[in-house]
Structure 1
Amino acid sequence: MEASKPTAGKRFGSRGGKIQLFTNHCVVTVDMTYDKSGHPVDVKDLGRKVLDQVCKKHAVVRNLRFAYDGEKSLFTLVSLSTDSISFPVDLEEPSSRRPDQSPSERDAKRIKRQSRSKTINVVLKYVAKIPMKAIADGLRGLESENYQEALKVLDTVLRQHSANRNCLLVRQSFFHDDVRNSADIGGGVRALRGFHSSFRVTHGGLSLNIDTSATMILEAGSVMNFLLKNQNVKHESEIDWEKAKTMLKNLRIQVNGMEFKITGLSENTCRNQKFLLRQKNGNGEVQESETTVYEYHTRNKMIILNSSADIPCIDVGKSERPCFFPIELCELVSLQRYTKALTIKQRARLVDETRQKPQDKKAAIEHSLRSSRYNDEYMLRSCGITIQPNLSKVEGRILQPPVLLVGNDQNIIPYNGRWNFNNKRLRIPMTIEHWAIVNFSSGCKISQLVEFIKNNARDKGMILHAPVIFEEESHFRREPAQVRVGQMYTHIKATLPQHPQLLLCILPERKNSDLYGPWKRRCLAVEGVSTQCIAPPKNMNNQYITNVLLKINAKIGGVNSFLSVESSEKIPHVCTVPTLILGMDVSHGSTARADVPSIAAVASSRCWPQITRYRAAVRTQSSRVEMIKSLCEPVSDSTQDKGIIREVLEDFVVSSNSLKPQHIIIFRDGVSESQFNQLLNIELSQIIEACKLFDEKWEPKFTLIVAQKNHHTRFFRANPPPPNAPLVQQNVPPGTIIDENVCHPSNSDFYLCAQAGIIGTSRPTHYHVLRDDIEFTADEMQELVHSLCYTCQRSTSSVSLVAPVWYAHLAAAQMAQFKFDEHTETSSNAGVTSAGAPPIPQLPRLHNQCEAKKVKLCKNFGRERNHEKTEEMALHHQLVVAEEEKFYVPKSRAP
């Protein structure tokens, strides 16, 4: 298919030096034909099994070329003989074959067994014809429902193709059962490597996006071995059977060649678990006798049980008709996904096992493309689809990094997306007169740490007076975290004569300390004290302390660096007109915890015309809900929550010399393309409504941009350096931007890789401009986005996501550490919500000393040091500059 010309709405940038790249998109040519669609019954879990039975018994379906999505949609190449065809299918339940029956009893009950099978009436019903030429219309910007359905047809064909090859299907990712493609990450879990493939309509035409992918699966084999590894114990007597019951539920096992689904565990041990055994005597009469599972297998089956006698049995039956097996006879079926939350160690090992250097990843993608054999797929060939065997070449541009302004009016020009503060002072260094070090760790040398901090702070321009040191008494270290924090704070308040500016907290473990949540909640919500948590390594160095000081200085109101163009007010549309920049994100709990609420966070700029300072507002909402519900709350009571936007607008006006923003730029993270309309109709509408409630005569202009990290497009240097070159040179250079070829054929979008790729293969961020009332040019928009990746105050390198969104993500992640227990404040309508569900737990309100104070606007940044420096115990300093040691950011979203 020929590439369509850009429409009038598509805008391209021109700044930056050109670079030749490969991308993991393959050109697809199409000889247009047509396709049809139908709907089978809604049997999501059994769909493919049912359809297999239909094909075995009915030639009309067996001879029909089709692609099935596993749920409700089936696509065919030719018309059905009638508009609706019905097929009754008997599907035997997996657990209907009871192991406690003798062979003779099974023969006698063979006729009755049919009554325990499911009879499903499968209806193939004609719904619509989907012309494949709709894709050509989409390439010309004429998107329609048929365009989306046509792409769905092609993606379903890919799924069907992989299902026919016995792959594990995870959306559009496919995994073969090959031990060579898996790696042990501990706990009986393995990381399985596969590939992702999907069709995309791009500016360059129809393309196939193919990428490496990974998922977690259970280690196939002995159930007992899995439980020992999963709970990290050496003997079955040490297994926690309540945890085991939760872990095993709904997993599939094999026993004597038959497959079953686990429904639970027996209440008694194998030796004591009884059931009624029905057997025929010599006269052919059926007699019932009570026996145990252990006796049945050892006496009737002549099976020696070595380890199952004194532990529970596996139950594969129903509540009214259980069916038990000794655990040592059960084996987990292969290719079963592991969907529970991973531990810290498992996540680290997963990252290590799936990380690939650019050229290794490119080679793996090319291998997946060859081995997939998509061009042999009958339905693709019948639709005239031909996939080119090589990765596409694209042209990118490398934007120059922005100049940073630090103390003493010195300029820093980042190199390879990085810079340092060696022999440099902070732009606005703070003085800390009253602070303390709180030590929960027995292995930290406080004197050495204090010396490191004071020396480095002095070099950066910060003035730190001598701290008060609090050591936890050894007998408290076995107490619960809440008790330890409470005892420590009692000691602090009894000792310190006045409110401290900062508490530096030393934790005993990195990332997984149970003290972190209670400590943060006590500091932020109860006491109103800035706090920095660290877990110092054994070999501390100046760089580590510098990173800690950057966070501390920002938290208590200082500024580490500015953009040079920010200080000279040369950012188009931003420095000339009062502009509010918002970063929005929603953090969800693990899939295993549906009761944990999601947390919405909005980071907002303050002190215009600066774009470096931010604060954050957070709210809870229903679990797994992506659209933010609390942006606008039209209430009349001044004591009630008026919504996030009212909160950030009031702060902007206070911190920006009573000016209301005339431009509002919104960056939204975590939204898929299918949710773009919801974003415009729900969230943007709320923001506009909140502005009207703030001032009905005020009409600011809006620009809305979605930032996507969770995608599968990658870029590789066309002329890579030698394999032994530093990884940052093997990846695409920081500042690489692509806005043609693989982008949308008509909408305004672009890929930006702002960060230096020092680990694995760089993941670009995909920015979609959904609305632009401000009317940025392409170069102005791309330069602004690129510059915002250099404003993160806690980092000495560019981040892969604009700082406002990165801050919002950190704010939500930090507040998620607060525990939602019975003491947590609930919403004003406590009790039961209108839907009959329990009320959503609310975050505790922050102490009033953590609220932002009024600050003076310094329009002349060159003379800013001559102005009075106000100490800002601002909410944004508490939430935005989060502890690096304590956060795990999921790989798919980590900058």
Structure 2
Amino acid sequence: MEENRKLPHPAPTPNLPPNTKPERADLPKYSMIDRRGTGSAGRPINLLTNHFKVSVNVPDAVFYQYSVSFTSEERRDVEGKGIGRKLMDKLYQTYSSELAGKKFAYDGEKTLYTVGPLPQNKLVLTVVLEDSFAKRESENLGGGESSTKRSKRSFQSRTFKVEISYAAKVPLKSILLGLKGKDKDNSAQDALRVLDIALRQTAAKRGCLLVRQSFFHDDSRYFTDVGEGVTGVKGFHASFCPTQGGLSLNMDVSTTMILKPGAVIEFLLAKKMLKNLRIKTSHRHMEYKIVGLSEKPCNQQFFPLKLRNGKGPGGEEQTVDVTVSDYFVERHGIVLTNSADLPCLDVGKGNRPNYLPLELCSLVSLQRYTKALSSMQRASLVEKSRQKPPERMRTLVDALRNYRYDEDPVLAECGISIEKQLTQIKGRVLESPKLKVGNSDDCIPRNGRWNYNQRTLLQPFHIKCWVIVNFSARCDMSHLSHEFIDCSRKKGVQIERPKLLIKEDSQLQRESPVRRVDRMVEQIEKFRDFHQLDLILCVLAERKNSDIYGPWKKKCLSDLGVATQCISPYKINDQCLTNLLLKVNSKLGGINSLLAIEYSSSVPIIKNTPTMILGMDVSHGSPGQSDMPSIAAVVGSRHWPLISRYRASVRTQSPKMEMIDALFKPLADGKDDGIMQELLLDFYRSSTGRKPTQIIIFRDGVSESQFNQVLNIELEQIVKAYQNLGETSIPKFTVIVAQKNHHTKLFQANSPENVPPGTVVDSMIVHPRNYDFYMCAQAGMIGTSRPAHYHVLIDEIGFSADGVQNLVHSLCYAYQRSTTAISIVAPIYYAHLAAKQMSQFVKFEDLSETSSQQESTASAPPVPELPRLHKNVRSSMFFC
């Protein structure tokens, strides 16, 4: 079947000619649905949650919104960020009577809110800030004004004009309307934003680092050193949210990364980065920003020093050249012991350097570190920041009582009061779905887990022709082969002995990763049965982040068309080998297990109607890599009525773009090169010539503000792709967004353990109107479990509340790579894996360096495309 032919009907209809393709007006318009009742399946369970009930005792209060702008005495506009809070604090101290004593909630930039109006709609006020800029320049070791002039004033005054202009009214009662589900225009969000700004302002006045709705104290008790000059700091997330049970404050433990405070020398040895960091000096106790390093060490770096009262010939001031080391000995009595032979820090401005010795400087605390953590740093952070449920609950209650949010002046004026204990709610625990394994045996998971002890795989693949290659890892390939064969045969897999065992020449370790891969492939291709290979088992020296992994996967999957499994065996035991086998069998087309209802073709709603399930995810570059292309991945189910078999389609798109733009990609000849065409045709071929008349979409990684874009941009593309294949009817859609990046936690009311797997909550803490629910499908073995938050945007298929929750729960047991229920539905997990694996096909770091060297132009450089998969593996679960 050709790639771009239409999706066949029993009675084929021709493709629509280009001039009759459906326009936007012909497409259905989708809008979010309201909640359709609650579920009843499962046993009841009493729970606690980290939502604290909020009472609003002055519901008629009205917030007045004002725009704020700053102008310096040089008549330059000043951005509020950084200096805004200082200016507004000074303004309130100076003009309290002109503001009628009104307390305000200021967002730190260009907006403030008051309860009730200010005396005038527009105020222009002058604020004088005394800052220590002049005092800083008195330490200018690169030249400048005479010390005599500087000593006359230790502070420099700067004058600003602050303009406050009325913008809008935000009634507090809109929140109460929202709680009743009557807030159709979402105006309640504006009022909630004011309350959240008040929380942030309270934290800012306490000297906290603010990161969105989280705040972090400069307290070493909350610091966790993760190595390489980076420290994790524990803080708290706090935000107001509307729920069925009323307004609540959602509070959770949060963590962000900062540069390790302390001696600059120690940090430099660990991180080798200093530019733009803030430091403070031990001899003057002043703060500076680093702009660079001196060219020479302190004992060789000269600068011109104007002597005090030093008069040369003709009465002119005398200037002498001295080294930084000598200056500190003579002027401050400080002998440099650790940094005399090291470069100085330059903290000057423009062309006026100002040198400071490293040993007298320490890093200011709470400076964010926004780059990606290494594997070791991430593992260290996870290990050190885990909290069992009782500890987390105690931490949150103590923090809420200590911070006394409802004493904030703005919140107090609204009559906001917050309860000081966790909210009690009701939940349900769904029964674990039954699985089918080999010999049609039943497998009943216990506590979200099962195993293959004394069991076999449901549909094992016969591995006839395979090889093992070893990229310089310490591994006995003969032993690995023997143990893998033994484990596989016990699990029902017919597997022959490997045809080749190839170990890399040790001299090649100095070569580039691409060269090493090419040399290995050259050896494999000499094998006479090379074109019959089922599998290449690849042994790598590094467990994670191997430079070989990306080039190797690209070579095998894109060029050779052979399934490959990488392994870095630090120990070889039955569990390790079983996990390896599960991945291999899935990649080769076998099935490890099926849901019992899936095995008997009795999945409700799906069993009689061809139904396709999609998992959609977009993966972005690591923090600090803003120009990395984003990777959009979509997996689609195949072999209907199964819901455990998937194929992936992956594309690049513009950096940081969340909406997938290649679902429908029309070409000049009228054909479609988009993601959905691949998946629709594959569904037809693998499902006995049936086309999907129902499509269930699971979308990951989007926020509430992007829900309408999912419906108006992504769903519209899917409809267009379907119609472009000659289809006149449109499938019924159910669209469900899954979120893991939220702050709601669930706790058992009468147990110190995590909530049991299958716990679902669809009342009290859910949205007052929208259709959402929380589910914790996994067994939390370490730390505190985080439930997934599911939002049903549309449901044309017509699931009941129990129906959609049971489908979601079942799909958490359909993940072929493991023997545990996972925290989010398998299609989303597969999409994430596909995006992650294919992103390593291309060294985007090289592309980034190239683009950064180019001069900026009006049009952005084209986004590089990923290599397409070889036809032999295109329909496989290569991402398992």
TM-score, normalization by structure 2: 0.89
Where do residues 378-393 of structure 1 align in structure 2 (5 Å cutoff)? 378-393=409-424
CA shift in 2, pair 1:94/1:802, >3 Å: farther
1:34: which partner in 2?
Answer: 62
Q: Secondary structure at the match of 2:204?
A: helix
Instruction: Return the offset for 1:107.
Output: 4.4
Question: Which of 286, 293, 307 is equivalent to 1:265?
Answer: 293
1:244 aligns to 2:270 (yes or no): no
Question: Which of 221, 227, 241 is equivalent to 1:200?
Answer: 241
1:870: which partner in 2?
Answer: none
Per-residue displacement from partner, 1:90-132 (whole Å, max 9, x unpaired)? 5577765221369992442579999x97654321111112110
CA shift in 2, pair 1:823/1:382, >3 Å: closer
1:227: which partner in 2?
Answer: 268
8 Å contact kept, 1:95–1:317? no
Per-residue displacement from partner, 1:199-233 (whole Å, max 9, x unpaired)? 110011101111111112222221111122x24xx
Per-residue displacement from partner, 1:253-301 (whole Å, max 9, x unpaired)? 4452111122222333333434333335444743344444333333444
RMSD: 2.5
8 Å contact kept, 1:95–1:261? no
8 Å contact kept, 1:400–1:735? yes
Range with greater deviation from structure 2 (654-663 or 736-745): 654-663
Where do residues 342-361 of structure 1 align in structure 2 (5 Å cutoff)? 342-361=373-392
Q: Distance in 2 between matches of 1:296 and 1:617?
A: 65
Q: Distance in 2 between matches of 1:454 and 1:435?
A: 12
Where do residues 747-826 of structure 1 align in structure 2 (5 Å cutoff)? 747-820=770-843
2:634: which partner in 1?
Answer: 602
1:506 aligns to 2:506 (yes or no): no
Q: Distance in 2 between matches of 1:338 and 1:62?
A: 41
Q: Distance in 2 between matches of 1:89 and 1:841?
A: 51
Q: Counterpart of 2:125 in structure 1: which amino acid?
A: F
2:86: which partner in 1?
Answer: 49
8 Å contact kept, 1:54–1:61? no
Q: Secondary structure at the match of 1:477?
A: helix
Question: Which of 31, 44, 51 is equivalent to 1:25?
Answer: 51
CA shift in 2, pair 1:250/1:332, >3 Å: closer
Instruction: Return the offset for 1:588.
Output: 1.2
Q: Distance in 2 between matches of 1:480 and 1:436?
A: 23
Q: Counterpart of 1:69 in structure 2: which amino acid?
A: D
Per-residue displacement from partner, 1:732-759 (whole Å, max 9, x unpaired)? 1100100000001111110000001112
Q: Counterpart of 1:74 in structure 2: which amino acid?
A: L
CA shift in 2, pair 1:88/1:693, >3 Å: farther
Q: Distance in 2 between matches of 1:851 and 1:700?
A: 25
8 Å contact kept, 2:35–2:772? no
2:161: which partner in 1?
Answer: 121
Q: Distance in 2 between matches of 1:522 and 1:82?
A: 70
Q: Secondary structure at the match of 2:393?
A: helix
Q: Counterpart of 1:190 in structure 2: which amino acid?
A: T
Instruction: Return the offset for 1:788.
Output: 0.5
1:4: which partner in 2?
Answer: none
Q: Distance in 2 between matches of 1:822 and 1:788?
A: 35
1:141: which partner in 2?
Answer: 181
CA shift in 2, pair 1:279/1:56, >3 Å: farther
Q: Any unmatched runs of 5+ in structure 1? A: 1-6, 232-242, 722-729, 826-830, 853-873, 882-895
8 Å contact kept, 1:253–1:262? no
8 Å contact kept, 2:310–2:318? no
Q: Distance in 2 between matches of 1:48 and 1:293?
A: 36
Q: Any unmatched runs of 5+ in structure 2? A: 1-32, 70-78, 849-853
Instruction: Return the offset for 1:53.
Output: 3.3
2:16: which partner in 1?
Answer: none
8 Å contact kept, 2:698–2:736? yes
2:871: which partner in 1?
Answer: 848
Per-residue displacement from partner, 1:852-892 (whole Å, max 9, x unpaired)? 3xxxxxxxxxxxxxxxxxxxxx2xx212x0xxxxxxxxxxx
Q: Distance in 2 between matches of 1:121 and 1:53?
A: 12
8 Å contact kept, 2:345–2:355? yes
Q: Distance in 2 between matches of 1:591 and 1:366?
A: 32
Q: Counterpart of 1:554 in structure 2: which amino acid?
A: S
Range with greater deviation from structure 2 (161-170 or 84-93): 84-93
Q: Secondary structure at the match of 2:828?
A: helix
Question: Which of 327, 347, 355 is equivalent to 1:324?
Answer: 355
Q: Distance in 2 between matches of 1:579 and 1:8?
A: 24
Q: Distance in 2 between matches of 1:161 and 1:250?
A: 26
8 Å contact kept, 2:222–2:235? yes
Instruction: Return the offset for 1:244.
Output: 2.3
Instruction: Return the offset for 1:616.
Output: 0.9
Question: Which of 205, 222, 228 is equivalent to 1:164?
Answer: 205
Q: Secondary structure at the match of 2:125?
A: strand
Per-residue displacement from partner, 1:698-733 (whole Å, max 9, x unpaired)? 211111110000001011111105xxxxxxxx1111
1:517: which partner in 2?
Answer: 550
Q: Distance in 1 between matches of 2:436 and 2:477?
A: 33
Q: Distance in 2 between matches of 1:815 and 1:641?
A: 22
Q: Distance in 2 between matches of 1:589 and 1:75?
A: 36
1:469 aligns to 2:497 (yes or no): no
8 Å contact kept, 2:66–2:113? yes
Instruction: Return the offset for 1:687.
Output: 1.7
Q: Counterpart of 1:836 in structure 2: which amino acid?
A: S
Instruction: Return the offset for 1:329.
Output: 1.4
CA shift in 2, pair 1:662/1:709, >3 Å: same
Q: Distance in 2 between matches of 1:306 and 1:842?
A: 55
1:77: which partner in 2?
Answer: 115
Q: Distance in 2 between matches of 1:691 and 1:401?
A: 35
1:536: which partner in 2?
Answer: 569
Question: Which of 470, 477, 497 is equivalent to 2:529?
Answer: 497
Instruction: Return the offset for 1:429.
Output: 0.4
Per-residue displacement from partner, 1:574-605 (whole Å, max 9, x unpaired)? 22111111111111112211221111111111
Q: Distance in 1 between matches of 2:335 and 2:628?
A: 46
Q: Secondary structure at the match of 1:40?
A: strand
Q: Distance in 2 between matches of 1:170 and 1:548?
A: 40
Where do residues 420-435 of structure 1 align in structure 2 (5 Å cutoff)? 420-435=451-466
Q: Counterpart of 2:278 in structure 1: which amino acid?
A: L
Q: Counterpart of 1:127 in structure 2: which amino acid?
A: A
Q: Distance in 2 between matches of 1:787 and 1:843?
A: 33
8 Å contact kept, 1:631–1:645? yes
Q: Distance in 1 between matches of 2:154 and 2:319?
A: 19
CA shift in 2, pair 1:314/1:692, >3 Å: same
Where do residues 852-871 of structure 1 align in structure 2 (5 Å cutoff)? 852=875
2:673: which partner in 1?
Answer: 642
Q: Secondary structure at the match of 1:464?
A: coil
8 Å contact kept, 2:615–2:697? yes
Q: Distance in 2 between matches of 1:691 and 1:110?
A: 77
Q: Secondary structure at the match of 2:526?
A: helix
Q: Secondary structure at the match of 2:530?
A: coil
Total equivalences in the alignment = 822
Question: Which of 296, 304, 307 is equivalent to 2:335?
Answer: 304
Q: Distance in 1 between matches of 2:475 and 2:712?
A: 53
Question: Which of 567, 571, 575 is equivalent to 2:607?
Answer: 575
1:86 aligns to 2:124 (yes or no): yes
Q: Distance in 1 between matches of 2:260 and 2:285?
A: 18
8 Å contact kept, 1:820–1:841? no
8 Å contact kept, 1:554–1:793? yes
Q: Distance in 2 between matches of 1:296 and 1:175?
A: 39
2:29: which partner in 1?
Answer: none
CA shift in 2, pair 1:270/1:595, >3 Å: farther
Q: Distance in 1 between matches of 2:433 and 2:383?
A: 32
